[in-house]
Copies of this chain bind each other. A is one copy, B any other.
């Protein structure tokens, strides 16, 4: 017999049933919170035309995409690929189904996406993302940016994290700032330096900026901007104190001010701060951008991020469909929660009650009892092996919280002993109850 490697492909999450149950619980709770906030669930195919997926992509995305080919074809002729996020298929969906949707379209997607990244600890090639997005028709007030923040905050509360802080900026602030300083041509390099500033020592950032900007006064001003973080009023005051005469900058500051104000009204208990270090890479964002950190575990990076993107649908339609959204990367996060021992092991016993019929003659009674228990939402298993009783009880002790043995006496009397397998305590239950 040829021995085949049975491990899952590296970069794929594969859980044992107990952990899977906990993963599912978190995923379902997050989806429930999204639903409670009025977001409608949709699912798009996992396979899309490559031209759809790559309309806007470039850089890493294009390298990481999985192409899909039927056996007879070759990769070169392949025009289909696996989706790498929920946002691009959403843009296609909204353009395709425009006439059947109500705008602003509040939408949620919870599913798997695929990226052929290099395999690394805690990096996944197949991963769940839990997304909320709001798509407007022609315009979309910034109040909806705030709603995305507070809906995601409510969803993050589902997770066993000690605390979290949402850090918000607005791309217009940095863009307007660079316009005012006549540094637009170098925006890509500068955005990258700002994006990485937290991962390198301050002197390094200074060095990089001096290299790119080559103007000490401008670099000083940039460093001053990058240091602005904190509560809304304080941050906005500091931004205004920079005295930047630029319309885009001013709009960015106003939007930031409004988003933080409305978010506070919608959810006073959530910690949402301004932070000029938030850039969100070179993605499609055009306005608000945000990340979420866990102060106790800063090293894990952002657990939830997103922003405003005004132009994504413009690749498929001439209709203006401004949007704002965000996402929780649940697979990576669940991996981290396990690493930090934050997943509760106690909840992992899969079955509530295991019924053990002594012989085949008691199967019918066992089945009737199971029906009653299931009607009360108790997950119930019946042991159907023809092994000896001790083996049946051993099985029960491995899968269930409670066990009921059904013999001739119990079947006739219609009364059963429900034994708690942890404490050994017994309770009598009757078929009629």
Whether A38 and B399, one on each chain, are in contact in the complex, defined by CB atoms closer than 8 angstroms, is yes
Contact of A70 among B38, B45, B116, B380 (CB under 8 A): B116
Known pairs A63-B71, A67-B70, A69-B67; A8 contacts B44 (CB<8 A): yes
> A427 to B385, alpha carbons, bound, how many Å?
57
Contacts of A80 in B (CB 8 A): 9
Contact of A75 among B12, B74, B93 (CB under 8 A): B74
A interface with B by C-beta (< 8 Å): 1, 4-9, 12-17, 20-21, 24, 35-38, 40-49, 51-52, 55, 62-76, 78, 80, 82, 92-93, 95-97, 100-102, 104, 106-107, 112, 114, 116, 125-126, 141, 143-144, 146-147, 262, 265-267, 314-318, 350-351, 354, 360, 363-364, 367, 370, 374, 377-382, 384-386, 395, 398-399
> A194 to B125, alpha carbons, bound, how many Å?
44
Ordered by A's residue number, 7 sampled pairs between the chains whose C-beta atoms are within 8 Å are A7-B96, A8-B96, A17-B41, A38-B380, A38-B381, A74-B75, A104-B385
Known pairs A17-B107, A76-B74; A24 contacts B41 (CB<8 A): yes
Known pairs A9-B48, A47-B114, A66-B69; A380 contacts B37 (CB<8 A): yes
Known pairs A8-B96, A381-B106; A126 contacts B47 (CB<8 A): yes
Known pairs A66-B68, A70-B116; A38 contacts B379 (CB<8 A): yes
Whether B12 and A262, one on each chain, are in contact in the complex, defined by CB atoms closer than 8 angstroms, is no
Contacts of A379 in B (CB 8 A): 35-38
Contacts of A55 in B (CB 8 A): 4
Contacts of A360 in B (CB 8 A): 143, 262
Contacts of A384 in B (CB 8 A): 141, 143-144, 146-147, 262
Contacts of A72 in B (CB 8 A): 63
Contacts of A73 in B (CB 8 A): 75
7 residue pairs, one from A and one from B, having the closest CB atoms? A38-B381, A12-B45, A143-B384, A17-B40, A6-B96, A265-B364, A70-B116
Closest to A150 in B: B367
Closest to A43 in B: B20
Closest to A378 in B: B36
Whether B9 and A47, one on each chain, are in contact in the complex, defined by CB atoms closer than 8 angstroms, is yes
Q: Which of A12, A71, A141 has the most chain B CB within a 10 Å cutoff?
A: A71
Whether B21 and A40, one on each chain, are in contact in the complex, defined by CB atoms closer than 8 angstroms, is yes
Contacts of A101 in B (CB 8 A): 16-17
> A78 to B68, alpha carbons, bound, how many Å?
10
> A398 to B62, alpha carbons, bound, how many Å?
39
Whether B377 and A36, one on each chain, are in contact in the complex, defined by CB atoms closer than 8 angstroms, is yes
Contacts of A378 in B (CB 8 A): 36
Contacts of A12 in B (CB 8 A): 45, 47
Closest to A66 in B: B68
Whether A95 and B6, one on each chain, are in contact in the complex, defined by CB atoms closer than 8 angstroms, is yes
Known pairs A24-B41, A382-B147, A386-B141; A75 contacts B69 (CB<8 A): yes
Contacts of A367 in B (CB 8 A): 265-267
Closest to A63 in B: B71
> A318 to B80, alpha carbons, bound, how many Å?
38
Contacts of A267 in B (CB 8 A): 367
Closest to A54 in B: B71
> A385 to B141, alpha carbons, bound, how many Å?
6
Closest to A370 in B: B37
Whether B68 and A42, one on each chain, are in contact in the complex, defined by CB atoms closer than 8 angstroms, is no
> A24 to B354, alpha carbons, bound, how many Å?
29
Whether A374 and B42, one on each chain, are in contact in the complex, defined by CB atoms closer than 8 angstroms, is no
